Amino acid sequence: MKKILLSICCAFVATATFAQVPSFGIRGGVNFASLSASNGNISISTGSTTTFAAGLFSDFKVGTNTTIQPALNYMGKGGNITGDDNTKVDIKTYYLQMPVNVVYHVPAGFGHVYLGAGPYVAFGLNGKVKGTDGSNTASQDITFGSGPEDFKRVDAGLNGIAGLEFNSGFLLGINYDLGLTDIGNDGSSEVSTKNRVFGISIGFKF
């Protein structure tokens, strides 16, 4: 799955290089991230943890109202778990993420309404898990690798975006990441853990 999504991303980027001169932009905002765990029969999700995202994107026009939009983002993910005894565990992970979206622009009086979707590939950089029982707090760094205590380095999935682009270049947007790869290293093929992220962002296109 990771190789397929990475190949799709590369194909989109290759196609974009033959398009017209692109425009560029910056975008940043707040993420509400959670983790979904499934064993094939039962699926559960954590509560959300609040993180952030920031990055750069380019927009290649390939049709009258269609663009291909690759981006490079610093992306916060993770989840929050609250136990019956009021213990809380907050997991925050940070990735360098490359989404490549096909975006359709609908003209409006103020500018455009845009809708887009495509694959993403992300590479884990760092993270931290913090636990509290109400009186005591402890934290530990998260590592990425192949060990049983590590998160897998690569995350891949599908990304969707929507928002408003004003004539001035100002952007208001939302996005959703649907992780498709198991990021856990618990040694069990029965349990699969995946990222889920909803984000709200502002930006500017030059």
The confidence band for 186, taking pLDDT boundaries of 50, 70 and 90, is: low
The confidence band for 3, taking pLDDT boundaries of 50, 70 and 90, is: low
DSSP code of residue 22: P
Check if the beta carbon of residue 18 is closer than 8 Å to that of residue 61: no
Q: Which residues contact 143 (CB under 8 A, 6 or more apart)?
A: 149, 150, 151
Per domain, the residue ranges of the chain are 2-205
Low-confidence winner among 18-22, 66-70, 145-149 (lowest mean pLDDT):
18-22
Q: Which residues contact 130 (CB under 8 A, 6 or more apart)?
A: 89, 90, 92, 137, 138, 139
**Residue 50: phi, psi to the nearest 5?**
-95, 120
pLDDT at res. 5:
52
Fold assignment, 2-205: Porin (2.40.160)
| Radius of gyration from C-alpha coordinates of the chain | 18
Mode of pairing for the β-strands spanning 137-141 and 23-38: unpaired
Q: What is the amino acid identity at position 66?
A: T
Check if the beta carbon of residue 155 is closer than 8 Å to that of residue 195: yes
Quick one: how far is CA 12 from the chain centroid? 18
Tell me the pTM: 0.85
Q: Measure the CA–CA gap between 2 and 14, rounded to whole angstroms.
A: 18
Q: Which residues contact 145 (CB under 8 A, 6 or more apart)?
A: 153, 185
For 115-174, the pLDDT digits (tens) are 999 999 999 999 999 998 877 888 999 999 888 888 999 999 999 999 999 999 999 999
Q: Which residues contact 124 (CB under 8 A, 6 or more apart)?
A: 93, 94, 95, 144, 151, 152, 153, 154, 155
pLDDT at res. 130:
93
